[in-house]
Structure 1
Amino acid sequence: MTVRNLESLFQPRSIALIGEASDTDRRILRNLLSEPFQGPVMPVMAGIDSMGGVPVFPGIDDLPAVPDLAVITRPLEEVPALITALGERGTRGVIITRAVPRDYTREQREALEQTILEASRPHLVRVAGPGSSCISVPHRGLHASSLPITLAAGKAALVTKSSAMAGAALRWCRENDSGLSHIIHIGAATDVDLGDSFDYLATDHRARAVIVYIERVRRARKFMSALRRLARMKPVIILKPPQVGEEEIDDFVYDAAFRRAGVVRVDDLEELFSAVEILDSSRVPGRDGPLAIFGNSRSLGLLASNALRRHDSSPQQLAPESNEALQELARRNASSHNPLDMGVDAGADAYDRALEILGKDRRISGILALKAPGASDDGDAVAEVVARHAKRLRKPVLAAWDPSAGEAGLRRLAAAVPAFSYPEEAVRAYSRLLQYRRSQTLLMQTPPSLPEDFTPDYEQARLILSAALTAGRDHLNEYQTGRLLSAYGIPCVDSRRANDPEEAAAVAAELNQPVALKLMSPEVQLKSQAGSVALDLTGPEAVRAEAEAMLARLHELRGEDVAVDGFAVQPMTRRDGAFELTLGVRPGGPFGPVLYFGHGGTETEAIADWACGLPPLNMHLAREIMQRTRIYGLLVDSGLRKPDLDAVALSLVKLSQLVIDFGAIESLDINPLWATGHGVLALDAGVGIQPQRGDPAESLCIRPYPTELNERIELPDGQCLNLRPVLPEDGPQLNAMVERTPPEQVRMRFFQALKSLPQELAARLTQIDYDREMALVITRDGIPGRAPLLGMVHISADPDLEQAEYDIMLDPSVAGMGLGPMLMHRIVDYARQRGIREIYGEVLRENEPMLKINEAMGFRIEPSSDDPGLMHVALRLDGSGA
């Protein structure tokens, strides 16, 4: 559904507990009453007058007030009727604690879920569960849980579908004197699911970070859209263990999805809870610099350094002035003091001086203080020094502390900084935090323009696939595959079709060079195993003889009635020094098709060096997939053999567009793809197909670029321009438009005078989620990223599609040509088509041209309640009036 009414689940003012006076009910009531919840808690149970000192009411109609939230523990068959009764009274949040029985069939489970949804939807009642064992929000005094542990307030939220994980989090918080801002156990997620939870937490300032435990994902597009939005606003750490019986590719797909969203994946519970500790008590690194390591133990310093190397990082050089200043503290002379060994007897003064020096080093992204027991025995004083500096510094400070160095000091230290027993634990937690920052930086980078103006032959590809599907085929033959790839600009070996041995011989004579011969039959997939491929055939007679032999072998294996499509005759190709790569498309379960890249050739499976990513791709995302393979390092460092890596990345982008356009493509494997300095060449490929159902874009978990909105427009002076949705590559041209616009006009758009756009802002405006946002740009002709931008209108909708805020900007060169009203009409039409109910904006009072456009279009215009210098403008799109 939406985020609407989720405040009734997470911020209720009154609660009803509807149960049976069981032990579970008593535990839940005790938890509700044990927290400082400010509103009434009203049990509803038959046959008793009170429970836990609280009056009990016999039925929902007997309640003295309408509960915002109802916790239902009664049998599942009674739940839909209870939801209906509660919804009619005005309740908007329900928690169903009972889980669906394990012996329910899939049909029974789906029928129950549908009945619950039908009961909740008329009144927009939001439902957590069935099987939701814990909704806990400490700062609201809410602990709606059957688990026997209460929760202290913290800064990170936990979202999970696992009751065991919710219980583990509660136990960990109690044992480590820590807390969480929320525990949201969604259970079966019939209504409120992971996406809804992410959307809610994205705007809750008390959740500074979010940790997630999942096992499977449903509603993948909603999940990805909400997760990407959440990860842009705060750190997200995910634990997703591989499933028993799950294919390796399935886990690779999840990994690709998490990378695309910009979240950090951890491997185990220890890491997940370490992330809670560091997020709860530390700052996210402000830059990607070295971690400064210092302490009173050379051994601990070496362990920390080695741990950094294992996490794809290593201690880097400090600033020269820092190294020079630290020499006075160092146990021995060294060219670099990272890690810094101050000697076992180093006391509070040494730690104080080291932190003062390191705190001034702008290269450093974080500091790790190490403490082993020493002769000075002033661990408590050292801990106090570290805690004091941690509060002062703007970069994260961590500690690895031997408890025997001082228990009291360790407690004070742990209250101020993430404190770990071992340096490896501290480094691992810090590395995950730095990984989050790096992933966000990666996503904010502007992708380069395509190295060529890529325009696929959509109609040729459609005809090829349509003909094969009409013939009842589940894969394309070599000839069809080559034509399909060529239609999307991927160079292939020249493949010529021959209907019989005579035609094959004639083709060979025409080519007049050694050829490869392949028999094409829908019943033969592995041609090498069926004797249906021959290489290096010279002359027509050799080709004719081999073609006849292939037919004879096939008839012997499959009978005389076996279907034969003919032969593919291909000139033998040699490229000395070419790298053999593989790339293609595979099914990705709930996430739709995924693209992969890796080491190719006959030993692909044994080498197992590949990485995958989700469409749609641009050049930047394609390169990121390539960089995650081992062979990429060889490609980069291959000297004179270095291949054209842009051509390889572009091939991935082209395959991405192919699967976006055609849901009929179930799988596609190119192996090998030869890569040289002159480009790429697909030597062999196979394409699996299936009947296409509906819009192919709907099978993708990330909504692709909406090409249907592309339009050619003509200005009154005869100029022809392009109107299209924004692309990530447009970032530099958007900034160029801002730079050539007078400061006063820039202020009308951004409410401040900017000479240029910060990179992060330019990325946010151009790298959008087409599921939730839209930006239309006007450009001159040219490749995106190079073609000048002349105007842009942008809307950002809330998850409910209830409202969308707009903003607009035009290049001064097109002022007075009617582009402002045209862009506004286009974006309003788009918002209406998407089902958005209202579009609104904030306009400076002195921006009279914009206000005139608003008035002409029927916007309601009134002074802003937040700022006297602004006017609030709004237009209803659903016909409900102003």
Structure 2
Amino acid sequence: MTVRNLDKLFKPASIALIGASRKPGTVGAVVARNLFQAGFDGPVMPVNPTERSVEGVLTYKTVDSLPITPDLAVICTPPASVPATIEALGKRGTKAAIVMTSGMTAEQTQAMLDAAKPYVMRVLGPNSLGAMVPGRGLNASFGPVAPKKGDVALVAQSSMVVTSIADWATSRGIGFSHLVSLGDRGDVDFGDLLDYLASDVTVRAILLYIESISHARKFMSAARSAARQKPIIVIKAGRSDEAQEAAASHTGALAVSDAVYDAVFRRAGILRVNDLAELFDAAGTLGTGVPIVGDRLAILTNGGGMGVMATDKLIHAGGRLASLSPETQAAITAALGALPGGAARGNPILVGADASPKRYADALNALMQDTSNDAVLVLHCPSALTDSAAIAQAVTDTVLANKSRRHPVLTSWIGDGSAADARQLFAANRIPTYDGPSNAVRAFLHLVRYRRSQDLLMQTPPSVADEFQPDGITVKRIIARAIAEKRDWLSEYEAKRVLAAYGVPVVDTRVAETPEEAAAAARLIGGPIALKILSHDITHKSDVGGVALGLSSPEEVRAAADAMLDRVREHAPDARIEGFTVQEMAVRPDAYELIVGMTENELFGPVLLFGEGGIGVEVVEDCALALPPLNMRLATDLMSRTRIWKQLQGYRSRAAVDLDAVALTLNKVSQLIVDFPEIAELDINPLLADADGVLALDARIKVATPALSGAKRLAIRPYPKALEDRITIKDGRQFFVRPILPEDEPLVHHLVENQTAEDLRLRFFAPLKRLSHQAAARLTQIDYDREMGLIAVGPDPETGTTIMYGVVRITADPDNLRAEYAVMVRSDMKGQGLGYILMNKILDYARSRGIKEVYGEVLRENTNMLNMCRALGFVRRENMDEPGVVEVRIELGGGLAAE
């Protein structure tokens, strides 16, 4: 991932148009017109060997004949000429190019990239519509519409999506900070642009139109970082009703690719919409800057039917009608006067078919003062008794008068001609407006979902309720044996041993080769018995009569085994039978049957599944997906996205399930998948769950030699356990050093609370009493792929509880070239060398990641920090802009990036 030289793409001082033309209807002519008419403040140099001038500007015959080196080159020449053109531009020193040329072969595209690489030239395209930055007068595109200036960025793979949205937005007065067509993504891709746009102060929100993603971890890291800073809305094209090719496990059949994208976007904190109509509405809402904080909606309307439609849409989609406070009801009653229906004014609030502008304004004003609703939707239906435009003006005036309250107001003026003036008025004043009540409610819920995703990103997960020590040696031995024997699937017995090694409760299961051995095993287990066929060739045992339940005696087990052999040989004559598994029947009448599984996605790697289990799992299709690694909060969120979730919390006389036990099982499976890349597919079905915990009745695990080793196959880099260590400070005390976790937020607060006011001022450059939840969450919920935090923990001498004594962190730029450090130790730990040890460790880590330089800013009066930096080899540089601040930096040798 890199943002290097992207500033030359979006903020060029000069531009060369290679392939400029005067021929009407050609790309070269349209781009030339757009470039010269957009108001770009800098030279635009057309290059064409046969034309004398383009758009009244003299042309240049070749790149070499240009009078100055262009920051940006726009190329619209035939495919075969592009690589040589890029080479010539690179030699001149050009750092960015937009390649609009279509029809390039894979070989030509690679030659283009090879030509650009030595010069670190960034290439947008090929097959790109171009890029537009209205605020800088840059329209390097062949789009038909010049978009207005705004603060929403659009990045799309499809050129026609860019032109369609630009046309739609311009007619509604909505502007953009950037519009970018990625084309075939030879170089610049979604991850690069998310990183760039996230740091651009002119961008308030980002819209994405995605057909495919090429670099999963790069995208996830960039998206998670950007989503913490500004809203991201995505439409993912290519939804399909076709499942993946027939999969051997239930999980493989359920985890279709589009559902994986849902999980990806949710984990990244991105709001997904389904089609262009929704994207248009979302773009319009974002373009007005509406700050949604909750899901309680108040509806104000002159048409009862429209109010009912809006309510139905709201409730069906998971929103809530606001319950108005008594004071607000009284104010609305006073505003509406003697209308039919009595004094009580519920929600929706019906203002009457003859509602005057003042009646609308007074009722809206009361709702905007009320904290019991999170937003107000104002509806208006055409009526011969009212002046639609005058009411729109009254609503606008009321919103502007309450602007300081930042209370969200959305509008929908129903109709066509009669509503046109009102919609233009709302758009001009940045008040969201929609064609119908359903669209308005949908847009409101878009922002509610986005707000929830942001809350999820910032929540502190609880600590794991029951820490477990997995037996990795046993798992490694079982998997290695299966791979050596060239078996794709572990036996049920082996699979359960793997789960048990990671702390997942399993039923007592034994292996028998013959019916007689099965009877003997049943005698040892005692009680009701479940008998299952054991064969690596049989995927679903019940489909071939390979399961018998509720067997009450050894004799019954032997008879069932004989009968089972006959059935299986009839239904699966080619299957190799190894014998039987004999297991105790779990008698848990109130337990729910769940499924926990994992499958490999070609792009995003392992994907975890949770849902309602049993033999009808693929018919019920009640499941949700998530990317590993998980924690308790993410596991609970995964569970909450299924229909069975409400049942698990108990109802009537049925007790609630031990939800922590289920979440912990998901965490254990997640850790198993992270630790063993050889696991290609996994099913626990059913997983019984009740008030007493969980129990795995059946399990299947597919193994294979992984294409990618270790954590490289994961879209999100997992907890780097290899960085754990023990250290000893000067006074002999020992501490455990490990990477920081999201669950460590309470430890961060405790550390800050035990700092002196002066130490906090020196660390944060300002007086500070405590960290906010958002600030502490940002410190603990890090992306290990581009950040690292190491903490030193140990027992509190007074209470014995684990506390944090010091923390050090680095945050790398998207290019992984430079990283900024920060370090803090408890005030009572000064002089013990803890800060020095932590700094050495983070510098060693930075070297292993290939980072070239680590830097930081230190207050000039912080002599302890400056002395430590000098001892570590940092050099200092005076900060001319801030005389009280010193910049310190150290050059690192760098090395191979560690995984």
Secondary structure of the equivalent of 2:167?
helix
What TM-score comes out, normalization by structure 1 length? 0.94
Which of residues 802, 827, 832 is equivalent to 1:817?
Answer: 832
Q: Which amino acid aligns with 2:278?
A: E
In the TM superposition, residue 636 of structure 1 has moved relative to its aligned partner by 1.0
Q: Which amino acid aligns with 2:165?
A: A
Asked if 1:452 corresponds to 2:466, the answer is yes
Asked if 1:7 corresponds to 2:7, the answer is yes
Task: Judge conservation of contact 2:264–2:626 (CA < 8 Å) in 1.
Answer: yes
Q: Residue 719 of structure 1 corresponds to which residue in structure 2?
A: 733
Q: Residue 401 of structure 1 corresponds to which residue in structure 2?
A: 413
Q: Residue 491 of structure 2 corresponds to which residue in structure 1?
A: 477
Q: Residue 645 of structure 2 corresponds to which residue in structure 1?
A: 632
Deviation digits for residues 811-847 of structure 1 (CA, Å, limit 9, x no counterpart): 2343322101111111111111111121111212222
Q: Residue 306 of structure 1 corresponds to which residue in structure 2?
A: 312
The correspondence of residues 11-410 of structure 1 with structure 2, limited to 5 A, is: 11-19=11-19, 21=21, 23-100=26-103, 109=106, 111-244=107-240, 245=242, 247=244, 249-285=256-292, 287-288=293-294, 290-330=296-336, 331=339, 332-333=341-342, 335=344, 337-374=346-383, 377-391=386-400, 392-393=403-404, 394-402=406-414, 407-410=420-423
The correspondence of residues 400-799 of structure 1 with structure 2, limited to 5 A, is: 400-402=412-414, 407-416=420-429, 417-547=431-561, 550=564, 563-638=576-651, 639-780=653-794, 787-799=802-814
Deviation digits for residues 505-524 of structure 1 (CA, Å, limit 9, x no counterpart): 33223223332233322222
Which 10-residue stretch deviates more, 657-666 or 349-358? Answer: 349-358
Secondary structure of the equivalent of 1:448?
coil
Task: Judge conservation of contact 1:66–1:91 (CA < 8 Å) in 2.
Answer: yes
Secondary structure of the equivalent of 1:791?
strand
Secondary structure of the equivalent of 1:621?
helix
Counterparts of 2:646 and 2:521 in 1: how far apart (Å)?
41
Counterparts of 1:316 and 1:36 in 2: how far apart (Å)?
48
Q: Which amino acid aligns with 1:293?
A: I
Counterparts of 1:156 and 1:548 in 2: how far apart (Å)?
70
Q: Residue 842 of structure 2 corresponds to which residue in structure 1?
A: 827
In the TM superposition, residue 378 of structure 1 has moved relative to its aligned partner by 4.0
Secondary structure of the equivalent of 1:95?
strand
Task: Judge conservation of contact 2:11–2:136 (CA < 8 Å) in 1.
Answer: yes
Q: Residue 249 of structure 2 corresponds to which residue in structure 1?
A: none
In the TM superposition, residue 204 of structure 1 has moved relative to its aligned partner by 1.2
Asked if 1:838 corresponds to 2:838, the answer is no
Inter-CA distance 715–348: structure 2 relative to 1 (3 Å threshold):
same
Deviation digits for residues 671-700 of structure 1 (CA, Å, limit 9, x no counterpart): 111101111000111111111234231111
Task: Judge conservation of contact 1:128–1:192 (CA < 8 Å) in 2.
Answer: yes
Counterparts of 1:49 and 1:410 in 2: how far apart (Å)?
47
Counterparts of 2:665 and 2:261 in 1: how far apart (Å)?
23
Task: Judge conservation of contact 1:290–1:318 (CA < 8 Å) in 2.
Answer: no
Task: Judge conservation of contact 2:295–2:319 (CA < 8 Å) in 1.
Answer: no
Q: Which amino acid aligns with 2:619?
A: A
Task: Judge conservation of contact 2:151–2:203 (CA < 8 Å) in 1.
Answer: yes
In the TM superposition, residue 201 of structure 1 has moved relative to its aligned partner by 0.6
Deviation digits for residues 703-761 of structure 1 (CA, Å, limit 9, x no counterpart): 11111101122333333321000000001121122122222222222223333221111
Counterparts of 1:557 and 1:737 in 2: how far apart (Å)?
65
Secondary structure of the equivalent of 1:872?
strand
Task: Judge conservation of contact 1:501–1:548 (CA < 8 Å) in 2.
Answer: yes
Deviation digits for residues 625-684 of structure 1 (CA, Å, limit 9, x no counterpart): 111111111111335421111101111111111111111111111111110111100011
Counterparts of 1:840 and 1:477 in 2: how far apart (Å)?
53
Counterparts of 1:733 and 1:558 in 2: how far apart (Å)?
58
What TM-score comes out, normalization by structure 2 length? 0.93
Task: Judge conservation of contact 2:846–2:894 (CA < 8 Å) in 1.
Answer: no
Secondary structure of the equivalent of 1:479?
helix
Task: Judge conservation of contact 1:728–1:766 (CA < 8 Å) in 2.
Answer: yes
Inter-CA distance 437–675: structure 2 relative to 1 (3 Å threshold):
same
Task: Judge conservation of contact 1:449–1:786 (CA < 8 Å) in 2.
Answer: no
Q: Mind listing any 5+ residue stretches in structure 1 that lack a counterpart?
A: 102-107
In the TM superposition, residue 408 of structure 1 has moved relative to its aligned partner by 4.2
Secondary structure of the equivalent of 1:84?
helix
Inter-CA distance 569–813: structure 2 relative to 1 (3 Å threshold):
farther
Task: Judge conservation of contact 2:295–2:448 (CA < 8 Å) in 1.
Answer: no
In the TM superposition, residue 409 of structure 1 has moved relative to its aligned partner by 4.7
In the TM superposition, residue 281 of structure 1 has moved relative to its aligned partner by 1.5
Deviation digits for residues 222-275 of structure 1 (CA, Å, limit 9, x no counterpart): 111111111111111111134444647211110011111111111111110111
Deviation digits for residues 64-119 of structure 1 (CA, Å, limit 9, x no counterpart): 11111111112222211211110110101111112236xxxxxx52x333322211
Counterparts of 1:443 and 1:876 in 2: how far apart (Å)?
34
Secondary structure of the equivalent of 1:233?
coil
- Fraction of identical pairs, as percent: 44
The correspondence of residues 797-812 of structure 1 with structure 2, limited to 5 A, is: 797-812=812-827
Counterparts of 1:253 and 1:283 in 2: how far apart (Å)?
30
Which 10-residue stretch deviates more, 511-520 or 188-197? Answer: 511-520
Counterparts of 1:689 and 1:818 in 2: how far apart (Å)?
47
In the TM superposition, residue 572 of structure 1 has moved relative to its aligned partner by 2.1
Q: Which amino acid aligns with 1:51?
A: V
Task: Judge conservation of contact 1:293–1:338 (CA < 8 Å) in 2.
Answer: yes
Which 10-residue stretch deviates more, 805-814 or 299-308? Answer: 299-308
Secondary structure of the equivalent of 1:528?
helix
Q: Residue 251 of structure 2 corresponds to which residue in structure 1?
A: none
